[in-house]
Amino acid sequence: MTSIKEQAAISRLLSFLQDWDNAGKVTRSHILSNFIETNQGKTAPELEQEFSQGASLFLVRLTTWLRLTYMTGLCLEKLLKSIGIFLSAVSSNRYLIEFLEVGGILTLLEILGLEKIKEEDKKESIKLLQVIANSGRKYKELICESYGVRSIAEFLAKSKSEETQEEVQVLLDSLVHGNPKYQNQVYKGLIALLPSASPKAQQLSLQTLRTAQSIVGTTHPSIVDCVLNVLRTMHLEVQYEAIELIKDLANYDVCTVLLKGLVDLLIPSVKETSKLQPKILNDSTVLQLTAHLPVFLQQAAAAKAIGVLARSNTTLAEQMLHLRVVHSLMAAMGNMDHSNSQRQATLTLEYFVQLFPVVEEHVRKSMGEELYKLFLSNAEDLYMKIDSIQADILAANEVNVTRALNLSGLSNNNMSFYLGPPDQEQLAYITHFQDDMEGKE
């Protein structure tokens, strides 16, 4: 026999559920607001007590209404917050299973892809997916098996709210931890985000990739090209994260490809730089255009990254010497179309000169005494002091310290990398400057 008190509680529950069933949109919105206000942070036992051991009866009504109305966006934020109270409650595994059994994960993922849904609603959907992912490995696997990584990554790339994008990063970070079956899928999804048009998405993807890379262990073949292409950004916060990831990748099997790629970026292809020629002839605002030409932004960032790597590990600096990094840095110093390329290349070359006497000797000989004195006096401001003739001398330099390095015992016999034949586009770039010099003479 139930007590009078229990009967009264059951009666209140049935009355509440009946009110919900008979309510219209406005009344249901008020019911949800009151539910959120009075039940936020409650545990599962407390919710059961509130609903006279019938909390699941209200949860099933919420999930049913969600499935019927989520495409319209009706009361969606309140509805998702209310479901979140159930799923995030302590000892809420029963509620979680009930939500998943009615296709809760697929519904949340579909919300992310709907154009008409507000950003705030999608953010609540992400928060619910966080709760599900944090509930254990099998739930992370369920999200991934529902093509969740693709949906979440696409939403991160398209989202216009930085706050929402940061919530997505938290979710992706959760999915890559404690998820051995699908961690590689998350890792690949993060790499696929690197070409995104959203700087915030790029920044957050790079941050999460550093974690994912350490968990996955092996590198994906496309990661080097993707990261190097990110260096074209004009956003310094993105560039910083890219260089931090480059520092990490230098410890993996892609180190050789990475170093060679960075050195190659110091001398842009003629195909890239020739895009400027019509603008130089026809447009007086070309200085504004060239200042942000992606290939020059990439050149400057590559010079900076090389300096960071060389200062962090002398062995990496030695490997880059055999890749003719000194020659390429001097060529970048001669790029009068982009002062930051000149500055970053000069600062990095200064370190190589200080570190290796043989480099100092070859650089002095190539520059000549006057230019070399300017270089030594203040490397950071050198780009403001050199004239066009000196810039052409730098761009057309033929410095090659590899032979001297071998004679001095700083050989690369222990380096397991292939340098390959000379890059024809780089040779064309050098010839272009040599022709300019001959014309001026």
> 93-128, pLDDT tens digit by residue?
999 999 999 999 999 999 999 999 999 999 999 999
User: Angle at Cα 172 formed by Cα 178 and Cα 125, nearest 5°?
Assistant: 115
Q: Is the per-residue pLDDT at 280 higher than 50?
A: no
Q: What is the DSSP string of 349-405?
A: HHHHHHH-HHHHHHHHHHH-HHHHHHHHH-GGGGGGT--HHHHHHHHT-----HHHH
> 11-39, pLDDT tens digit by residue?
999 999 999 999 999 999 999 999 999 99
- If pLDDT is split at 50, 70 and 90, which confidence band does 407 have? low
What average pLDDT does this structure show over 427-432? Answer: 46
What average pLDDT does this structure show over 323-336? Answer: 96
Per the CB < 8 A criterion, the answer to whether 266 and 323 are in contact is no
Residues 6+ apart with CB under 8 A from 256: 319, 415, 416, 417, 418
Per the CB < 8 A criterion, the answer to whether 386 and 374 are in contact is yes
How far is 318 from 303, CA to CA, in rounded Å? 16
End-to-end CA distance of the chain: 110
Instruction: Return the pLDDT at 5.
Output: 76
Q: Is the per-residue pLDDT at 423 higher than 50?
A: no
Instruction: Return the pLDDT at 285.
Output: 47
Residues 6+ apart with CB under 8 A from 335: 296, 299, 341, 342, 345, 391, 395
- The pTM of this model reads 0.86
Burial (Cβ within 10 Å: 0-12, 13-18, ≥19) of residue 207: middle
